Amino acid sequence: MLSKRIISCLDVRDGKLAKSVKFVDTKDIGDPVVKAREYYAQGLDELVFYDITASSDNRGIMLDVVSRVAEQVFIPFSVGGGLRTVDDCSRVLLAGAEKVNVNSAAVKNPGLIAEASKAFGAQAVVLSMDVLKVPQSAQIPNGYEIVINGGRTPMGLDAIAWAKRGQELGAGELVVNSIDADGTKEGYELTLTRLVAEAVTIPVIASGGGGKPEHLYDVLTEGKADAALVASMLHFGEYTVGQIKEYLAGRGIKVRIQKDEG
């Protein structure tokens, strides 16, 4: 059977690594290529690079990061942030990414998912969604709303309905990022993750809130996620990939254990 994947997300601003906490107050913590190599050596399964560069003048820096990663890191990785057109997607794929990660631009223009899926195949298109818990309403029957622009703009769109629509349009995977849980290190949003995982047939990657290995266990079992995204747990050196995987394997989760060389 497939292993559950441990994926790390690296937020990149102007070519430097940053980690956002509830989408504000980002702190510079180093070179994304160095971090990527370190996690690759530890046995990470996949990487996501999210470009949070504010100025479009500096977008070219990201392509350089992507291509340097591709030369040194031999696991799959996706790139997101600021991808608005199929041409934008094509540039990061040519630079060496396996997948593109679309978010706000896909909410504003769902056709982007379909176009990118047609151009590169569904396996290359990851739909990332930022989700806020809200009171249930006729418009938001599940009580989870899609927000865009880094969590600032609520869209009046039900997250579960959007997940299904994303799959229909041709997304090959979903990243479900809970804004309520993001940066709290108190655990993933299990209910949200499970609702999405039960609504679609494509892989679901849980994001936001991972602080301890048991949080990953919870979201990979009760939350029914296929993969879990970790950021600060790794970025601040609190855990290694190996420690997280050993813990999960010890509790019966199938994960890829990278064997020592020699």
Partner 1 sequence: MITLVDYKAGNLTSVRRALDHLGIPCQISADPDVVRRAEKLIFPGVGAAGAAMAVLKERGLDAALKEAFKAGIPILGICIGCQIILTHSEEDDADCLGLLAGTTVKFRQPVGATHWVAPTLKIPHMGWNGVTVTRPHPLLSHLRPGDEFYFVHSFYPQPADSAQIHAVSDYGGQFPVAIGKDNLFAVQFHAEKSGTVGLQVLENFSKW
Confirm or reject binding of residue 87 to partner 1 (CB under 8 A): no
What does the buried/exposed string (b/e) look like for 80-118 if buried means 16 or more CB atoms within 10 Å of the residue's CB? bbbbeebebbebbbebbbbbbbbbbbbbeebebbbbbbe
Q: Which of 23, 35, 43, 78 binds partner 1 (CB under 8 A)?
A: 43
Work out which of 23, 39, 120, 144 binds partner 1, going by CB under 8 A.
120
Among the listed residues 11, 130, 158, 173, the single contact to partner 1 using CB under 8 A:
173
CB within 8 A of 100, min separation 6: which ones? 78, 79, 80, 83, 89, 92, 93, 116, 120, 124, 125, 126
Q: Could you say whether residue 49 binds partner 1 (CB under 8 A)?
A: no
Closer Cβ to partner 1, 100 or 140, answer by number? 100
Two structure tokens written together for 168: 């229909």
Tell me, yes or no, if 226 is annotated catalytic. Answer: no
What is the C-alpha separation between 47 and 146, in angstroms, rounded?
Answer: 24
Judge whether 11 counts as a catalytic residue: yes
**Taking CB under 8 A as the rule, does residue 183 contact partner 1?**
no
Interface with partner 1: number of residues (CB under 8 A):
34
Q: How far apart are CA 47 and CA 98, in angstroms?
A: 10
Residue 54 binds partner 1 (CB under 8 A): no
When asked if residue 166 is in the footprint of partner 1 (CB under 8 A), the reply is no
Rule CB under 8 A: choose which of 64, 111, 214, 257 binds partner 1: 257
* Closest residue by Cα to residue 174 from 182, 165, 183: 165
Question: Which residues of this chain interact with partner 1, rule CB under 8 A?
Answer: 1-3, 5, 40, 43, 45, 70-72, 74-76, 93-94, 96, 98, 120-124, 172-173, 201-203, 226-227, 256-259, 261
